[in-house]
Amino acid sequence: MSLPELGEEIRVRLGVLAREVKVAKGFVEVVTGRETLREVAKTLKEMGFDHVKSVTAVDYPKEGKIRVTYHASSFLNEELSRFMVGLSVDLPRDKPVVETLYPIWNSVEFMEREVYEFFGVIFEGHPDLRPLLLAPDLAEKKVMRKDFVVREESIYEGVPHEYK
Amino acid sequence: MGVGVGGACAKGEGKVYAGNLNVAAKRARDIILGKLKLGEVVDWATTFSLWPVHLVTSCCGAEFAATWSPRFDAEQYGALPWISPRQTNFIIIEGTVTRKMACALRITYEQMAHPKFVIAMGACALDGGLFYNSYNVVKPWEIVPVDVYIAGCPPPPEALARAILDLRKKIREKKMASNWLREGWRGDVEYPMPKEDPCKWWQP
């Protein structure tokens, strides 16, 4: 099976559920809506994509949306294990709420927590939604969004007192 | 004992002797560490019993491990890494200190036995290094008083060995250990209180 064949098969399987299926360099990208995300994920799992490698998000402040992307692949199916599928969902920036995919792929648990603390995306139905790496007061500021401004330090600010 | 009643001796019968333990201890300390020059012995001994605690926060930990390996052998300077902060007197900050780790660093420093010394290792511990201008990185000198800084990213094991030698020299020249024992606090460095509480996120 080659990559365009896999893209065609995914396009046929998903039908109207997918908003957009395109073959990018090295992986197939599927874009879907918030309502149909779970059904698409179920279909992909039935096809043989049995785990998620990464969950990430991209912030588009001008378009007012946050795109959450799940990268799924396979361990058990040898043919599919050579490919990767990106499953993306667009969320409104002011209220990014989406249903969790934890019941379908168990490996998303920690990665969804990470997206939650860095981007403020709320995953409904997640068993343990709290910050993973950051301190809670910093996680409230949603540090990986584009409108988070880091305090600029001058070069002399970092000099210890005794050397001033 | 502060108060004693002299009963055995007939001459002191009926008298109550009172004394201040703190004053007596300070006098004894001044005589032993000041007049008898025992302070120099204390400083000399301290230079050969530096026990660094493991606080590996970043990749400098690899260089830290190499420093105590047979090739560079920092144990010849009398420093041996130890596990518990209660039994150590020396801390090497190995690399980046994040906000969560700053809390651990402060707690570890407070738990260590007096007199205690700090070496900040690597560019990240100086001013952030790679992670300069980051929202999650703090500078160690805002958290604990640092004695010796090492530049480099990461510093080679020779630099760490040299820093230990420099610290030993500093202890003997500035009489850091004996002064600390005499006064109860370090006069030569400012003891920083963190501007913002590093542990404010922590909930038991």
- Higher-confidence residue of B59 and B1: namely B59
Nearest to A134 among B128, B136, B189 (CB): B136
User: By the CB < 8 Å criterion, does A134 face chain B?
Assistant: yes
- pLDDT at position B197 is 80
- pLDDT at position B10 is 58
A104 and A45 in contact (C-beta within 8 Å)? yes
- On whether residue A161 sits in a domain, the answer given is no
- On whether residue A164 sits in a domain, the answer given is no
> Is the model's pLDDT at B162 over the cut of 90?
yes
User: By the CB < 8 Å criterion, does A153 face chain B?
Assistant: yes
- pLDDT at position B142 is 85
Question: Residues of chain A with pLDDT > 90: what percent?
Answer: 55
- On whether residue A158 sits in a domain, the answer given is no
The answer to whether the Cβ–Cβ distance between A143 and B141 falls below 8 Å is no
B99 CA: distance to closest CA in chain A (Å): 8
Residues 6+ apart with CB under 8 A from B28: none
User: By the CB < 8 Å criterion, does B170 face chain A?
Assistant: no
- pLDDT at position A156 is 59
The answer to whether the Cβ–Cβ distance between B134 and A150 falls below 8 Å is yes
Nearest to A158 among B100, B127, B201 (CB): B127
Domain extents in chain B: 3-36, 41-183
Supply the angle between the helices B157-174 and B38-47 in degrees, to the nearest 10. Answer: 170
Tens of pLDDT, residues A112-146: 999 999 999 999 999 989 888 888 888 888 899 99
Here the ipTM equals 0.73
- pLDDT at position A162 is 52
Q: What is the mean pLDDT of residues A24-31?
A: 88
- pLDDT at position A63 is 93
Decide yes or no: CATH 3.40.50.12280 for domain B41-183: yes
> Is the model's pLDDT at A163 over the cut of 60?
no
Tens of pLDDT, residues A39-57: 999 999 999 999 999 999 9
Identify the closest residue of chain B to A144 by CA–CA distance. Answer: B135
Residues 6+ apart with CB under 8 A from B51: B79, B80, B81, B82, B87, B88, B89, B90
The answer to whether the Cβ–Cβ distance between A158 and B128 falls below 8 Å is yes
- CB-defined contacts A:B, below 8 A: 35
- pLDDT at position B6 is 46
> Is the model's pLDDT at B184 over the cut of 80?
no
The answer to whether the Cβ–Cβ distance between B136 and A161 falls below 8 Å is no
Rounded Cα distance, B144 and B84, in Å = 18
> Is the model's pLDDT at B110 over the cut of 60?
yes
Write out the two tokens for B185. 């606090």
pTM listed for this prediction: 0.79
Query: Can you give the CATH number for the domain in which A83 is found?
Result: 3.30.460.80
The answer to whether the Cβ–Cβ distance between B135 and A152 falls below 8 Å is no
Rounded Cα distance, B107 and A91, in Å = 42
Tens of pLDDT, residues B17-47: 778 888 888 888 888 877 778 888 889 999 9
Q: What is the mean pLDDT of residues A99-104?
A: 93
User: In chain A, how many domains are there?
Assistant: 1
Identify the closest residue of chain A to B129 by CA–CA distance. Answer: A158
- On whether residue A162 sits in a domain, the answer given is no
User: By the CB < 8 Å criterion, does B200 face chain A?
Assistant: yes
The three-class DSSP label of residue B47 is helix
> Is the model's pLDDT at A159 over the cut of 60?
no
Write out the two tokens for B192. 């920083």
B202 CA: distance to closest CA in chain A (Å): 8
Domain that holds residue A145: 3-153
Nearest to A143 among B100, B135, B139 (CB): B135
- On whether residue A163 sits in a domain, the answer given is no
> Is the model's pLDDT at B109 over the cut of 80?
yes
What are the C-alpha distances in Å from B105 to residues B53, B85, B144, B197?
Answer: 11, 11, 8, 12
pLDDT band at A164 (very low <50, low <70, confident <90, very high): very low
The answer to whether the Cβ–Cβ distance between A160 and B141 falls below 8 Å is yes
